[in-house]
Structure formats: C-alpha cells, structure tokens
Amino acid sequence: MIFDWRYALSLLTFSDFWAAAWLVIKLSLAAWLIGIVAGFLIALGKQAPWVPVRYVCRAYVWLFRSLPLLVLLIFVYNLPQMFPWTGSFFSNAFCAGLVALALSETAYIAEIHRGGLAGVNRGQLEAGRALGIGYFGLQRLVVMPQAFRIALPALINEYIGIVKLTSLVSVISLEEILLVGERLYTQNFKVLETMLAVAFYYVVIVTGFGYLLTWLEKRLDFTSRSGSVGTADTSRGDKVLPIAVATQVRKKAPALEAVNIQKSYGPHHVLRGIDLTVKSGEVISIIGPSGSGKTTLIRTFNGLETIDEGHVRLHGKPFLGSRSESHGNRSRANYRHAISELGMVFQGFNLFPHLTVLDNVTLAPGYHGKKKGAELQSHGMTLLNKVGMGAHAGKYPHQLSGGQQQRVAIARALAMEPSVVLFDEPTSALDPELVGEVLGIIEGLAREGMTMVIVTHEIDFAMKVSDRVVFMEGGVIVHDLTPSSYREMSTDSRVRRFMTGYR
C-alpha cells in the first residue's frame, strides 16, 4: 500500500484530534498539579518526626509505584462495582482517569520532592529556626521555594511522561489522541498515516509545554537573578555607620544562664557539665582549640542542639532543658516567642538565597507581625544602612562578597530586636581582607551595650572587645577570666601558648 500523504496532512486539521489533544492537556496538567501538591505533602510526611505518619507515607509510595497504571485505571473505573455510591463520580471516564493518574504520579513526584528537600542546605533550616519561624512557616517561606527550584527539572520531565501516559486512558474509552487514531485506522487501514498524525499531536503538546516550563524554570532560578538597588540609600555605599541598638544598662541581672549543660554524640562526650552566666550588657568570647565544644555549646543556647542534661535560662526564666527536666518541656508557642530574644549569626552566613538582601532582613519581623508594610521596609533599610549594606538592598546573596553577606546576616539577626546576639565563628569563612569589616560591626555593637556571646579564633579581637573570655578544652570550661587576667598569665602556660599560636 502506497503512503497517502494527502490523507496524513488532512489529519492535522481533524477536529476530533484537536479535541482529543485538548483533553490530553487538561488531564495531564491536572494530574501533574495534583501530584506536585500531594507529592510534596507525602515527601514531608516521609521525613516527619511522627512515626505513624512516616510509615503511612512510605507505604503510599511503595504501593502506587508498584501498581501498573493500566491496572490502576481499570480498578478505579470499575470501583462502583464494589462501592455503588461512587458511581456518580467514577463512572465518568475523565474523572476516573484523572484519579488513577494522580494517585500513581503522586508517588513518583513525592520522590522527586524528597530529592529537592534533601538538596536544601541544613543551614537554611537552622537559620529559620533561629529566627523563631515555625515548622509550617519554615516550609512555606524557606524550604518550598528552594526545594521546588531544585526539583523543577525533574518535575518538567515527569510532566512529559504524564502526557505520554495519557495514551493508556483509552482502556477506559476516554477519547484521547491514541483512541481517536485507533478508530480511524480500523476503518480505513491507513495505519502509518494515522499514527504519524498521532505522533504529531503528542510532539506539539510536549514541545509547547516544554518551552513554557523551561521559561518558568529560568524565571525561578534565583542564582541567575540580578538584583537592583531599589530603595536603598546609594549615597552611603559600603560605608559602615554607627550601630544604634537599644542601649542596655550593665546590670547584675543575668541575661543568659547555662546550668550543667551536657551533650554527647554517641560515645563522644562533647560538653561535660558546662556552667556559664552572661550578664546583661556583657560581651563574652569563647575561645579554645578545635573540637573543644565551643560551637556545640553556643548552639545549645538557642535550641539548635538538644541538651542531654542541664538547662538554659533566659532573663531568669526557664527557656530550654533536657527532656528529663520539667522546665525544659515548654510549648512550641512559648519557645518561638522567647527565641526572638536571641539573635544568631552563623559561620556560613545562611542567608536565604531566593530572597533579596532586604527581604532576608525583613522576613522574620514580618512573619512574627512585629512590623508591617512601610514600617517593616523602613526598619529593614535602617539596619542595612547601619551595617553599610543599604546600597545592596535589592541584590541577592549570590551577588555579594563573603564580608557583605555576613554583614547582612548581622542585620537579619538584629531585625527581631533581640536582647542577646550569638556569633558562631562569624569570620572563619571569610578571606583575611574581609575579616576587619565584620569585626568592626561587632565592635560597634559592643560599644552600644549589646549582650553578646562570640565563638571566635580572633584572639586579639576577643581580648579587645570582651568583658570576659572563656577558654574551653575537652568539653569543659578551663578558664573564665577578664582579658587582663589572661595577659598576666605565664607565657609558657597552656592558654598563652594557644593564644600565641592563633595570632
């Protein structure tokens, strides 16, 4: 039989094919979007702290990835035989096909989302927790935008797969593209011509949506965004202005107390009964060799590390404790309220990459409802100008140097107007020439009376800015003295040898 080109071309304008193509678009898009939302919930459920939820979500993925879609389609379409009350819904071929596709694809898309969630840096979660953002707020504001961007290429590929899988719904007599083609070639036996037209319609759908989704992927790629100056005060450039914080009177009352803090990782006992009191207005620097427990200690102050034994008090009130201690079992609402009193600046900056500099600073106070609208934006710009970053308010973190990112991180920590700020080796990730600009900001805060706890290897800076310097080694506090007391120590003492080595 000779190939009939005229007939093949005529099928490109055949109304039944275009109607079937529209049905494929509706069916595939609906199944894809349902799968994206439901799959994300399943992916979160697989990582939930509640064991029953984890097992249910894992069982769902296991079951629906194991079932062939063809079997699922037939089962769902014939479900009214088992449950007659479902007949009004599942007797409709489109509804049955959509449910079957969505059930199957949700399981596959959940694994794509799980990969996206795993790709979000742990520091992002810790930064959100340090700002007092709750679980669902953290997922919505921090995790989802980043995880979705990571997962999007695989999600686009999955959509293309769904388009082609719609050919299976012909088994329940749904008028999709392949079924229309089958009915035609069974009448005239022009199989090759008809299947060429079928291929054409699938290619058109895949190509059109492929371009559309690729455009969306580029739009969501925050690493390629070029932020603008926006409303920043560009006349000030990178000049660091005096830090104006709520001046604190140096009182005898303790701002932060750690009592008998103990922490182990398996057999490794990291903290061995730490007792430390930080008074309001004091600057405490924690120094010591690597592995001495400095970072672990400061992370127990705001709950980023759990406490095995002991407790933390904030302004004289119970704040954190081990599970065995009654005053450690505070409600989440109380914890989120109290955590706003503790600002945290991380070693690795942990700025949110999908947000501009200004949005990074205003996220937490906006989330907590402390400020809104123009007042919130003005508050953010005031802090950025004071750390010399007002001119970069509209930029994204990837456009900044390390020193600039850390200055933004300090402004973000101050945005909640905390009474105590924790610094976890704030200059260790910076090039030597950038260290000074960050230390200058911290020194300005010290002059204004901000209560601070600083883990640092910058010995000279610690001696210059601190009221007390804590030397840790082997998980215990060896010395808790004033800078002048350290200078009076013998030059051949363990501490002086350590301090000399870091200069």
**pLDDT tens-place string over residues 264-296:** 998 899 999 999 999 999 999 999 988 889 999
Average pLDDT over residues 151-162: 93
**pLDDT for the residue 244:** 46
Band of pLDDT at residue 186, cut at 50, 70 and 90: confident
**pLDDT for the residue 252:** 62
Would strands 268-279 and 254-265 be described as parallel, antiparallel, or unpaired?
A: antiparallel
Instruction: Return the axis-axis angle of helices 191-219 and 177-188, rounded to nearest 10°.
Output: 170
288's tokens = 């010591």
Give tens-digit pLDDT for 378-388. 999 999 998 99
Would strands 468-473 and 451-455 be described as parallel, antiparallel, or unpaired?
A: unpaired
| Position 151 pLDDT exceeds 80 | yes
Give tens-digit pLDDT for 472-483. 998 999 999 999
The pTM of the full predicted model, rounded to 2 decimals, is: 0.82
Average pLDDT over residues 75-79: 91
Band of pLDDT at residue 126, cut at 50, 70 and 90: very high
| Residue 327, burial from CB neighbour count under 10 angstroms (0-12, 13-18, 19+) | middle
Average pLDDT over residues 155-174: 91
Sign of CA dihedral 114, 119, 122, 127: negative
| Position 103 pLDDT exceeds 90 | yes
**pLDDT for the residue 47:** 87
Annotate 404-437 with DSSP letters as a single string.
Answer: HHHHHHHHHHHTT--SEEEEESTTTTS-HHHHHH
| Position 240 pLDDT exceeds 90 | no
389's tokens = 């970053």
Give tens-digit pLDDT for 413-461. 999 999 999 999 988 878 877 788 888 889 999 988 999 999 998 888 9
Higher pLDDT, 455 or 89: 455
| Position 50 pLDDT exceeds 90 | no
**Which range has the top average pLDDT, 89-93, 358-362, 437-441?**
358-362
Band of pLDDT at residue 235, cut at 50, 70 and 90: very low
pLDDT-above-70 percentage for the chain: 92
**pLDDT for the residue 234:** 41
In angstroms, how far is CA 203 from the centroid of its own chain?
36
Set out the domains of the chain in order of their start, with CATH numbers. 5-220 (1.10.3720.10), 234-501 (3.40.50.300)
Q: What is the mean pLDDT of the chain?
A: 87
Give tens-digit pLDDT for 336-351. 778 889 999 998 899 9
